[in-house]
Amino acid sequence: MNSNSQSIKLFLVLAFSCTSLFASLTPVLAKPTLGSSRSDAYSGLRLRSDPKTTLAQATTFNQPPIPAGSPPGGRVRGGAKRGAIGALAACPPTKLDLTALVSFTQEDNSVINVWGQTTVERPSWFFYVPYTKDSPYAVEFVLQDQDSNEIYQKAIALPDKPGVIRVSLPTTAAALAVNKQYRWFFTINCDKEKNSPPTFVEGVIQRIELNPATVKELQTTEPLKRYAIYAQKGIWYEALTTLAELRQKNPQDAALKAEWRNLLGSIRLDDVAGEPILPETP
């Protein structure tokens, strides 16, 4: 055998040996290193299966259909817009408008219907307010029954900084009746003389009853799962309130922040999803 043949044979033997050695090392490299735990080795899988992270990807708010009868109409955003008499609202323009954190639909003719469901006698509403207590503006929340009778009115104190505030129906107010519709208004009047129209948002809320099986499930499950049930059932007010309370108790939880953005994004309110949730004032 000449020297060229011997060189080729030696090269092939070395190449095969290196390939075999690499193949034998591959499973060793895939195993956890000494001193690491099984959970450390599979931390990526654990994060992907975290219930909060999974929920943020899976939960969808199912908007219920508008009830029969006259459409609710309403207004989900306020701002320095023209009023009925053609005059500009006195409130100065802001980066983000006054916004009601509530579900709404927009029809092909641009008509907006602000409407949501609740299951409790005394629900809570959330609003993004761009003005602060340094502004001498009159703010109030009003709730009316189906016959436009005022059943609750409260003057609202502006917060220390712009953010999302909560307005709850107190025990001193009449409870919402099942299957009745109520209209709410949140108004900011920036003109002391009231010669200019106020900035306001409005909508309709209806209390419904859930079936006994769902009620039992809600009573025995943890808050994050309750939120998911409410969202899937189209119960906007309890879905939002449950998630807001979870976020306030766990302000640094990235998964809850993501779910909050997911929920508000599902109703096209992405722009206020990053605003802080402020403590509820009495």
Q: How many domains does the chain have?
A: 1
pLDDT for 31 beyond 70: no
Asked, for residue 34, whether it belongs to a domain, the answer is no
pLDDT value at residue 58? 52
What is the mean pLDDT of the segment spanning 188-214?
Answer: 92
Asked, for residue 44, whether it belongs to a domain, the answer is no
Q: Report residue 56's pLDDT band, with 50, 70 and 90 as the boundaries.
A: very low
Asked, for residue 18, whether it belongs to a domain, the answer is no
Chain Cα centroid distance, residue 23: 50
Q: Report residue 5's pLDDT band, with 50, 70 and 90 as the boundaries.
A: very low
Asked, for residue 19, whether it belongs to a domain, the answer is no
d(CA 258, CA 81): 32
Q: Is 79 left (phi over 0), alpha (psi -120 to 50) or beta?
A: left
pLDDT per residue as tens digits for the range 38-52: 333 322 222 233 444
pLDDT for 203 beyond 70: yes
Least confident of 141-145, 195-199, 242-246, 247-251: 195-199
pLDDT value at residue 214? 95
Asked, for residue 279, whether it belongs to a domain, the answer is no
Q: Which residues contact 238 (CB under 8 A, 6 or more apart)?
A: 118, 119, 120, 123, 226, 230
pLDDT value at residue 87? 52
Tell me the residue range of the domain where 106 lies.
Answer: 51-272
d(CA 60, CA 57): 9
What's the CATH code of the domain at 266? 2.60.40.1930
Could you give the C-alpha distances from 35 to 23, 38, 96, in angstroms and in order? 24, 10, 52
What is the mean pLDDT of the segment spanning 184-188?
Answer: 97
**In the beta sheet, which residues pair with residue 104?**
114
Asked, for residue 164, whether it belongs to a domain, the answer is yes
d(CA 30, CA 34): 12
pLDDT per residue as tens digits for the range 139-162: 999 999 999 999 999 999 999 999
What is the mean pLDDT of the segment spanning 116-132?
Answer: 97
pLDDT value at residue 281? 67
Asked, for residue 152, whether it belongs to a domain, the answer is yes
Asked, for residue 31, whether it belongs to a domain, the answer is no
